[in-house]
Amino acid sequence: MYKCPGCDSEINLDDVNVSADIALCRACGQTNSFAEMSEESQVADFKDLQMPKGFRVEPDFGDGKSLVYKKMSPIALFLIPFTAVWGGFSMWGIYGTQIMKGEFNLTMSLFGLPFLFGTILLSSICLFSLFGKRLITMGNGRGTIFSGVGPIGWKRRFLYQKSTKVSVEYSAVRQNNRPVKIIYIRGGSKELKFGWGLKNEALEYIAAFIKNEANKN
Ligand SMILES: [Zn+2]
């Protein structure tokens, strides 16, 4: 089913010309790009969706609403033992032995820096895979997307209105030679992309939430 981006009425397939990329809305008379409409139609109605595991909707300040997603990532099962062994051995071998002997070895310490950074990075990914959360907060035309652990993480802001387009599309990023789907928020001149590493079901749910909140604006 295709909906007119202008007035939200249903568009009959008889009024669609795919090769000319035109879809005429009988309700308001607007002609739309069929390609753009098809992208739009990927996002389901929020109320029609069942909340997948790990999600929670919370009221926020005033009229705002937050969608929280917290779920242990299966990579933790592999990554935590790996980090413990790899990080443990390299940190012990390079720095632990120096501390034990009470002798500082500059060459060895410098040599160990990449291992130190690697261990810190891997540990952060482990923490995120275990306790990480994604938080989408929307209210009064302003939204934030946060991903991180506790208060530490990455926060991005966006503005939205009724005409803001939300979609789940393939990104330029590939994993195992297959393109990865992410969420796109397009409004005005800005484009926000997020959701790398999330399963399709989670992406669809988040996109539907954002679309639903934006429509209330
Ligand atoms: Zn219309």
- Write down the pLDDT at residue 16: 87
Whole-model pTM: value is 0.71
pLDDT in tens for each of the 217 residues of the chain? 677 877 878 888 889 888 888 889 999 998 988 877 766 556 888 989 999 999 999 987 677 899 999 988 888 999 999 999 999 999 999 999 999 999 999 999 999 999 999 999 999 999 999 999 999 999 989 999 999 998 899 999 999 998 888 988 878 787 787 778 899 998 866 889 999 888 889 999 999 999 999 988 7
CA 201–ligand 1 middle distance (angstroms): 29
CA 25–ligand 1 middle distance (angstroms): 5
What is the C-alpha to C-alpha distance for residues 192 and 185, in angstroms, rounded to an integer?
5
CA 109–ligand 1 middle distance (angstroms): 67
CA 31–ligand 1 middle distance (angstroms): 8
CA 16–ligand 1 middle distance (angstroms): 13
CA 9–ligand 1 middle distance (angstroms): 6
Q: In what order do the strands lie in the sheet with 16-17?
A: 16-17, 22-24, 31-32
CA 3–ligand 1 middle distance (angstroms): 8
- Write down the pLDDT at residue 122: 95
- Write down the pLDDT at residue 18: 82
CA 203–ligand 1 middle distance (angstroms): 27
